[in-house]
Structure 1
Amino acid sequence: MTEACSSLTFLTLYDPTSDNLSQSFHINGEIKSGLVHQPGAVCVGKPAPHIELKIITEDSSRVGKILTRGPHVMLGYWAQISPKTSDTCDEGWFDTGDIGEIDEYGNVWLIGRSKGRIKTGGENVYPEEVEGVLSQHIGLSSVVVVGVPDTRLTEMVVACVQLRENWRWVDSPSYCSAEKDNQTLTREILQRFCIEKHLTRFKIPKSFLIWRKQFPLTTTGKLKRDEVRREVMSCMQFLSSNL
């Protein structure tokens, strides 16, 4: 079985969601088995035998751009005079545009797309990772995360959320409920949820906006993140001007 993602092809050697750890893999002379779960990321298994992968990082993190090399890589783009050249495309390596990491067992984890990256406080945040964590909350039906300009942080992480039926949003920071089954959400509740899910603190949204309509999609069903970002910026400018 194979799974296609961007320009990569992955070979499923085992079911990464299974609790059966009887299968083992030989890595750097050691026998290892299992799965290292990454919050907000999607495991796509191991690359097929004919595919080379490497991760290009900007810091000490293991997360970075996914580059691939092999017979599956295209020669260039249609009608382009010369193949795309860059520091990350030398020696046959192709920048997939995907962001992820490879764990100690050789599993590839996809986190997001490089073009959607948010730069906040000198750190990189990939919206898909934050969305993956927030979408686990029972009170949210849909989440889109964007970065908006900020004078102090360069960009601020903002989450646009849609609530499930019978859930309500409270803006008051002093709100506190002692009832465990209370179907009420606040910024503080969602931020605390992110911490409980082990999301790194600089990735936790600073602001939350209630989105009361459908998120804009392309004809192929892909999210128009830039359009959401523009609407969030317009909304926040309007709120600031009315303070």
Structure 2
Amino acid sequence: MTPILVTDTVRVPAAALALRTSRAGGPGGQRVNKVATRVELTVDLDAIEGLPDAARARLAALARHRITNALFVPAMLQFLTQVPGAAEGDYGALRAIVYGASPITNEVLVRSLKTFRCPFVQVYGLTETTGAITQLAAEDHATEGPRARLLRSAGKPFPWVEFRIVEPGTERECAPGDVGELLTRSVQNFRGYWGRPEETARTLSADGWLRTGDAGYLDAEGYLFLTDRVKDMIITGGENVYPAEVENALSDHPAVADVAVIGVPDDRWGETVKAIVVPRAGAAPRPEELIAFARARLAHFKCPTSVDFADTLPRNPSGKLLKRELREPYWRGRERRIN
């Protein structure tokens, strides 16, 4: 993995301090203060090397060491909650679990809430924002009723963060509720890529707006919903398909342990939707079964036209799917048309 070197200002630590002392959404409006004299036992459990073999040991560590606060990437939550008997563990010391860094499916999030039985808080940010810029608070994690829709949200921006949604590659504002590229401006934004002025100019405008490369929309209440990376969007027959939506639908199938959706070449439609599925242990789903499952939940143009199976899916250390590696065998030798 190539490191990203960015520059920032003294305003960034101040914003980070404000974030660390902001409400975490726990019971009674508890506040998380990382500079207090009182020491809380917090562990960062987001490294995914050795998964799923390490999952059982990490569950045991949560109970044995009476961990009060934990940070997870979704891939870790996925593997932890798939351990047999995970929901019977003693996690009574947990005050909060913070998660982020990559998309999480409804199925994994609901299963995690039921397993650990503590407040959950989601954060979203980028290297270029030098930290989190949104938070989905604990009270926004209802699993039933009309507020359950917020489980698909990345939350609301912090007070010092501004958002715009624009048509990808342009400055044209999208209508409310329409999907576009997220632009953000705040004191947290980086000043540029070290030694790469051209890339800085493409990413950061003169008036401070940062192109995140993430596609999404804002609802009427100001919640941010991210649909996918702009570059991962599939254009099939002129229709835009965001893989994360398809992955979320397929992950609800009881035989699916993990899933990635990519665009592959198609002579008629330009690209078509392919799902790559890791079956659960002992399961043997058929491609037509999974396609029918998706068709019952999504518009037909969004559904996979083919399904491949794999033992594992490639991810980086923070749990993000490596879509480029997945696409490579299907696009090798062709002129690329990946967005």
* Aligned residue in 2 for 1:207: 306
Structure 2 unaligned runs (5+)? 1-23, 25-121, 169-173, 333-339
- The answer to whether the aligner puts 1:4 opposite 2:124 as a matched pair is yes
- The answer to whether the aligner puts 1:114 opposite 2:212 as a matched pair is no
* Aligned residue in 2 for 1:48: 158
Instruction: Quote the sequence identity (%).
Output: 32
**Which of 142, 145, 160 matches 1:18?**
142
Structure-2 change in CA distance of 1:160 and 1:221 (3 Å):
same
Residues 6-36 of structure 1: per-residue CA shift (max 9 Å, x gap): 2351144562222799xxxxxxxxxxxx648
**Given residue 46 of structure 1, which amino acid in structure 2 is its aligned partner?**
K
2:316 and 2:186 mapped to 1: Cα distance? 31
Question: Secondary structure at the residue paired with 1:217?
Answer: coil
Contact residue 118 and residue 125 of structure 1 kept, 8 A: yes
- The answer to whether the aligner puts 1:191 opposite 2:191 as a matched pair is no
Contact residue 142 and residue 148 of structure 2 kept, 8 A: no
CA shift, 1:112, in A, is 1.4
Contact residue 181 and residue 211 of structure 2 kept, 8 A: yes
**Which of 255, 263, 268 matches 1:152?**
268
- The answer to whether the aligner puts 1:78 opposite 2:194 as a matched pair is yes
CA shift, 1:206, in A, is 0.9
* Aligned residue in 1 for 2:321: 223
Question: Secondary structure at the residue paired with 1:72?
Answer: coil
1:64 and 1:99 mapped to 2: Cα distance? 5
Structure 1 unaligned runs (5+)? 22-33, 170-184, 235-243
Greater strand fraction, Structure 1 or Structure 2: 1
* Aligned residue in 2 for 1:127: 243
1:15 and 1:46 mapped to 2: Cα distance? 13
Question: Secondary structure at the residue paired with 2:165?
Answer: strand
Contact residue 124 and residue 135 of structure 2 kept, 8 A: no
Question: Secondary structure at the residue paired with 2:140?
Answer: coil
1:66 and 1:100 mapped to 2: Cα distance? 6
CA shift, 1:42, in A, is 3.0
2:316 and 2:135 mapped to 1: Cα distance? 29
Question: Secondary structure at the residue paired with 2:314?
Answer: coil
Greater helix fraction, Structure 1 or Structure 2: 2
Aligned length in residues: 202
CA shift, 1:137, in A, is 0.8
